[in-house]
Amino acid sequence: MTGFPRYAIYFAAGSDSALSRFGAQLLGYDAYTGSELAFPTDAVRVVPDWRDVSADPRKYGFHGTLKAPMALASGKTEAELMAACAAFAGKARPLPLIRPVVDAISGFIAVIPAEPVDALQQLAADCVREFDSFRAELTAEDRARRRPDKLNERQRDHLDRWGYPYVMQDFRFHMTLTGRLDAERRGPILQMLRARFAALKIEKLEIDRIALFRQDDATARFRIIGEWRLARVDLSASSRD
């Protein structure tokens, strides 16, 4: 199995944001501080086994994946990866702006964009490419865990090239709130989560930063060890030229 520590480059909404508090409270874990949090009482009232329902995403903290978890390639260091994150963030680009909604995706429930956003697809693709030199190659065991027999040909190609199947054309941004649920269970849980999210009144969400998460060993949760604001292209200036 791939060694540890593992690192991932994710979007996290900022330690003081309403969205981060929303996700951390529901997962019972704050990846910024490493703290355990009490679950919201209304979530537990509607879903008495909420701890189990939210167990899978709790391990990772509330986030949107840009570069999936990876062990470092031989010769690469954490300090070099952090420097690369800073350099990546410093390259000016159009910042993705999404309309966030809570919905089901592949059997679990997450905060997702209401419609595709090209700038977000491009940001994720750039992350996959530019940080790939830091990624240790998948072991045979790691590849088998991705169940390549269940993937289509393009996803298998992504797995072998990038170490993760759901990249490039197959990337779908999501900030996960539950594990996989059967259709019968999803209905009331989705209703509860939509009501909680609606109370935040977040009509637009700018994907304006990247965060570096680290998992120290197989039993540990991921924790944020660095965060960088993305430099913005001044589109108004170019339109005046």
pLDDT tens digits for range 89-111: 999 999 999 999 999 999 999 99
pLDDT in tens, 163-205: 999 999 999 999 999 999 999 999 999 999 999 999 999 999 9
Closest CA to 227 of 2, 4, 16: 16
The Cβ of residue 47 has, within 10 Å, a number of other Cβ atoms equal to: 20
pLDDT value at residue 91: 97
What residue segments make up the domains of the chain, in order of their start? 6-231
Closest CA to 67 of 169, 172, 175, 167: 167
Calculate mean pLDDT across residues 42-59: 97
User: Which one is the CATH code of 6-231: 3.90.1140.10, 2.60.120.260, 3.40.80.10, 3.40.50.300?
Assistant: 3.90.1140.10
pLDDT in tens, 136-155: 999 888 889 888 999 999 99
Greater model confidence, 235 or 234: 234
pLDDT value at residue 234: 76
Span of 58-62, 188-192, 233-237 with lowest mean pLDDT? 233-237
pLDDT value at residue 90: 98
pLDDT band with cut points at 50, 70 and 90 for residue 3: confident
pLDDT in tens, 202-232: 999 999 999 999 999 999 999 999 999 999 9
Calculate mean pLDDT across residues 105-132: 97
pLDDT value at residue 142: 87
Q: Say whether the peptide bond before residue 5 is cis (omega within 30 degrees of 0).
A: yes
pLDDT value at residue 69: 96
pLDDT value at residue 235: 66
Rg of the chain, C-alpha, whole Å: 18
- The C-alpha atoms of residue 58 and residue 24 are separated, in whole angstroms, by 9
Calculate mean pLDDT across residues 41-54: 96
pLDDT in tens, 72-91: 999 999 999 999 999 999 99
